[in-house]
Amino acid sequence: MYDVAIMGAGPAGSTVATLLARQGLNVLLADRPDFTGDKVGESLPSAIDRLLWTLNFHPIDQSVHAPISGTDSYWAGDRIQRDYFATAGGSGWRINRTAFEQQLLMQAIESGAQHFQGRLENARLSNHIWQLQMDGGRSVNSRFVIDASGRSAVFARKMTVARIKSPPLVALWALSSLQPKAPSIHGQTLIESQENGWWYAAQLPNRRWLAIFHTNPEQAKIIRRHPSLWHQMLASTKWISRRTPWPDFVSSELHAHDARGSYLVQPYGHQWAACGDSALSFDPISSQGIFNAMASAHMLFKALHSDNQHDQHSGLQQYHLKLNSVAGIYQQRRNWFYQQANRVYQTRFWAEQAVVRCLETVAEDEP
């Protein structure tokens, strides 16, 4: 019997597992066994250093991850440059995502959490105990469940909690091939808006480049059918093509990822709660997803950190309010970017994205 079973060992799941296990709780950290590919998302804001310090986690390892020197963007016709080395907040980090997550997972295991490879299939509450059916016929009993399964929010879906979503946004991304004689690390984040979406490009610490085109599902469908279109569009960017080795992407595989922001109407319920992307996920324009995943895991830990049931309930209410205020700030900033671009391009993509009251409740069985 576990005190807490956590579904998902991404940044949110590993963070909350470490904090709870350090309190001496019997913690299970489950993740589906079949995921081996690259995960997209590698820019961290400078605030991560302070969060890691507050949590008493290992600091960023500079031999594995690289500092971000700034942003150089061409957005809605204006060039915007920010030099992070010259600002008070300092530089953020371009992480090796696999190494970063592996370190968080190892830390959770060293703190006493039990790592379990299994996908959640079903959940039933009986006599105040959750009976969790995992794939392969295995079952797990736990007093409390934390949904840290990312945007798929597998547990919250089973609880039929509605999710509010921003307008559809698809990220089409590819990694360039490894360059044996790559130039010295290019530390800038490059962003460029176009008529039907926006580009992001950055050099990763492992000498590969990542490029992502964010667009609507209709456009994404066409590009996925003809991946050479993606390469042509990258080559035709005004700004990014001059600063990235775009021909290196020609043989790269194109991947698609849901990138719209969304949040659960109710991020907790009877003997369960959600954190990270499962509770609140951001549009990648924010570059705050991993930070928010870990910060919300910390907030949830603090909310649960009471033996008294009444205190725990009011802690969870406070947690919900904090998530709402984070969502409000994020939404305001996101809308500012999209509205700027909408004034310039006046295309369907930007008009859809720029709607302020864009949140809609989507049926839970939607992929």
Ligand X SMILES: Cc1cc2nc3c(=O)[nH]c(=O)nc-3n(C[C@H](O)[C@H](O)[C@H](O)COP(=O)(O)OP(=O)(O)OC[C@H]3O[C@@H](n4cnc5c(N)ncnc54)[C@H](O)[C@@H]3O)c2cc1C
Stretch that binds ligand X, among 25-33, 63-71, 81-89, 322-330 (CB under 6 A): 25-33
Q: Tell me how many residues contact ligand X (CB under 6 A).
A: 39
The verdict on 6 binding ligand X (CB under 6 A) reads no
Exposure letters 138-162 (e unless 16+ CB within 10 A, then b): eebebebbbbbbbbbbbbbbbbebe
- Minimum distance, C-beta of residue 35 to ligand X, in the bound complex (Å): 5
- Minimum distance, C-beta of residue 220 to ligand X, in the bound complex (Å): 12
CA distances for 90 relative to 6, 56, 87, angstroms: 34, 20, 6
The verdict on 264 binding ligand X (CB under 6 A) reads no
The residue (of 212 and 354) whose beta carbon lies closer to ligand X is 212
Using CB under 6 A as the binding rule, the residues of this chain from 190 to 219 that contact ligand X are: 212
The verdict on 244 binding ligand X (CB under 6 A) reads no
- Residues 52/58, Cβ–Cβ less than 8 Å: yes
Which residues touch 346 (CB under 8 Å, ≥6 apart)? none
- Residues 276/13, Cβ–Cβ less than 8 Å: yes
The residue (of 36 and 308) whose beta carbon lies closer to ligand X is 36
Which of 295, 232, 287, 236 has its CA nearest to residue 259? 287
The verdict on 8 binding ligand X (CB under 6 A) reads yes
Among 20, 27, 132, 290, indicate the residue that binds ligand X (CB under 6 A): 290
- Residues 16/300, Cβ–Cβ less than 8 Å: yes
Among 5, 12, 20, 190, indicate the residue that binds ligand X (CB under 6 A): 12
Which residues touch 356 (CB under 8 Å, ≥6 apart)? 335, 339
- Residues 199/234, Cβ–Cβ less than 8 Å: yes
The verdict on 13 binding ligand X (CB under 6 A) reads yes
The verdict on 293 binding ligand X (CB under 6 A) reads yes
Among 72, 192, 248, 277, indicate the residue that binds ligand X (CB under 6 A): 277
Stretch that binds ligand X, among 20-28, 77-85, 284-292, 306-314 (CB under 6 A): 284-292
- Minimum distance, C-beta of residue 3 to ligand X, in the bound complex (Å): 18
Among 26, 98, 111, 152, indicate the residue that binds ligand X (CB under 6 A): 152
- Minimum distance, C-beta of residue 261 to ligand X, in the bound complex (Å): 10
The verdict on 35 binding ligand X (CB under 6 A) reads yes
The verdict on 55 binding ligand X (CB under 6 A) reads no
The verdict on 115 binding ligand X (CB under 6 A) reads no
Q: CB neighbours (10 Å) of residue 195?
A: 12
- Helix and strand numbers, DSSP H then E, in the chain: 10, 22
Which of 300, 313, 302, 308 has its CA nearest to residue 274? 300
Stretch that binds ligand X, among 73-81, 237-245, 279-287, 337-345 (CB under 6 A): 279-287
Question: Residue 185 burial by CB count (10 A; 0-12/13-18/19+): exposed, middle or buried?
Answer: middle
Where does this chain bind ligand X (CB under 6 A)? Answer: 7-13, 30-32, 35, 40-44, 119-120, 148-150, 152, 154, 171, 173, 212, 257, 259, 276-278, 281, 284, 287-291, 293
